[in-house]
A and B are shown apart, each in its own frame.
Chain A
Amino acid sequence: MRTVILILLLVAVCWFAADCAQAADLQVPQNAVVGQPLTINLEGSGTLYLIGPGQIIKREFKSGPVEIKGEELHSAGRWIAVVKGDSEQSQVFWVKPGKPDKLNFLARPSRVPVAKKDVISGVAFVFDQYQNMVLAPTPVNFKLSVGGTGAAKTVTSRSGVAWTDSSSAAKAGSAQFVASAGDTSVLRVVQQVAADPCERNLRMHVAGHSGNMITVETDPIRDCSGNPVPDGTIVTFIQTDKTGKSTVDARIKKDIARAELPASDSATITVAAGVVLGNELHVGGK
């Protein structure tokens, strides 16, 4: 019985030793980085497979170092090294992403009213040159400017993403929204347009008479920051008299909206743009 146990023990020890000896042959790098060369020293001969998340590298080898060029290694994450040949072994190792080289930048919305708080959002995803997400904290600079003036903010990315909120400027125009990290930067354009017309600026007057028609037109229509409300915005004129109600929807053209209404002995005309009401006119009468 003792002899059997001794033999079994001996076999187990030999097995373990052989295992250790085999494991010692495949030494994978511990600090591999995408885009940087890699060397793996191997004993014996056979085929080495490096199996990455997005690629597989194959090398035939004979005892000595196996060199992998930097430009060949472009997938970050969990890799498996497998040796087939004199001995069969495998091991897991990690490859880190390279330095920040690309930004995916989402700027929302693309068109925004002026003078609104925290209405523009910028989200930047940070990638290396091989499209691996850079998970290490990376400072990302966000700059929003219109006509050379604006504000900048630096945000450190977390798990590959950095984001910011920004208010729109008081002045209408194309805002340049730039995100930059390291040597790379991405530009997005956010169109800042006039907000709703300002109630105190929505004024109309009688511009003329022709036959049975009366022409009314507004003063130049501006928002409360003084920006002209864009052409095409609809302004509604409503005339009420004893015969009923006449409504005309007119578009702003060169800052002014104009409408022709039927002449009346006594009528009240109101003007509105969206939810904003302008002044009221009384025409005709004695």
Chain B
Amino acid sequence: MKLARILALTCGIALIISIAAPHLKRIFADTKPAVQLTVKNAQPREVEDVTQNAVQRDYTLAWQALSTALANNNLKPLNDNFTGFALDKFTQRVKDQKQQGLTTRVIDNGHKVDAIFYSPDGSAIELKDTASIETQVLDGGKVIHSDKSQVHYYAIMTGAEDRWKVRVLESSAE
């Protein structure tokens, strides 16, 4: 009798976990990623404190937007945070995903970001990002690929009307 109770309880817990896990993953995917930005290596201009805070805030928002866009095949978050080549590229990716019935879940475990270039006129900044990311590609609701790795990204952000927008975001093996 006791064994049966324990078995039933275990099954119940397993059922709850299996139902809750995908939702929890989605919730965590939509939360803001942790971004640490250092600016001491920026050249040729020194990054002002205000700019540092704004870039950190907007780069964080850009990653959050990218995750949301790829997870839901929705272009709106991209338009708010990306511009130029990066916007063209990710827009095409979302359109292709939609066409093929795929989605991508990005589980973001944080970014260590170094500002490596800040233009003399203060209009553009280049970041080197070491991102800890888990990528899951889903076909319908089924995961067809999953990997967890550290990826290097190079990003160029430029000042827009009320925020910094990502103009280039490129991953690199080196």
Contacts and interface: CB of A to CB of B under 8 A. Distances in A.
Given A82-B145, A125-B156, A133-B156, A53 B120 contact: no
B96 to A, nearest CB: 4
B25 to A, nearest CB: 19
B171 A106 contact: no
B171 A54 contact: no
Given A125-B168, A159-B154, A54 B137 contact: no
B174 interface: yes
Contacts of B90: 53-54
Contacts of B174: 135
- Say whether chain A's binding surface is mostly helix, strand, loop, or mixed: strand
Interface stretch (A12-20, A72-80, A240-248, A276-284): A72-80
Nearest to A123: B119
Given A51-B137, A54-B90, A90 B120 contact: no
B135 interface: yes
Interface stretch (B13-21, B53-61, B121-129): B121-129
Interface in B136-152: 137, 139, 144-145, 147, 149, 151
Contacts of B116: 158-159
A135 B120 contact: no
A77 B174 CA distance: 10
A54 B92 contact: yes
A157 B88 CA distance: 24
Given A159-B117, A159-B126, A55 B92 contact: yes
A266 interface: no
A109 B93 CA distance: 36
Interface stretch (A146-154, A160-168, A193-201, A217-225): A160-168
B44 A76 contact: no
B173 interface: yes
Nearest to B43: A163
A84 interface: yes
A165 B147 contact: no
Interface string B80-117: 00000100111011001101101010000000000011
Nearest to B173: A94
Contact of A56 (B102, B154, B173): B102
A106 B119 contact: yes
A192 B50 CA distance: 32
Pick from B124, B145, B170 the residue with the most CB of A within 10 Å.
Answer: B170
Contact of B154 (A49, A88, A123, A160): A160
Contacts of A133: 154, 156, 168, 170
Contacts of B172: 77, 135
A160 B92 CA distance: 23
A49 B100 contact: yes
Given A132-B170, A133-B170, A53 B93 contact: yes
B126 A80 contact: no
A216 B39 CA distance: 57
Nearest to B122: A108
Interface of B: 44, 85, 88-90, 92-93, 96-97, 99-100, 102, 104, 116-117, 119-121, 123-124, 126, 128, 135, 137, 139, 144-145, 147, 149, 151, 154, 156, 168-174
Given A77-B171, A135-B170, A160-B168, 17 more contacts: A49-B100, A53-B89, A53-B171, A55-B92, A55-B93, A55-B96, A80-B137, A82-B137, A90-B137, A123-B119, A127-B85, A131-B89, A135-B172, A158-B116, A161-B126, A161-B156, A163-B119
Q: Which 10 A-B pairs have the closest CB atoms?
A: A54-B89, A90-B145, A56-B96, A77-B171, A121-B120, A78-B171, A108-B121, A94-B173, A131-B85, A82-B145
18 contacts: A51-B145, A77-B171, A77-B172, A78-B171, A80-B135, A84-B139, A84-B144, A90-B145, A94-B173, A121-B119, A121-B120, A121-B121, A127-B85, A132-B170, A159-B154, A163-B44, A165-B44, A165-B120
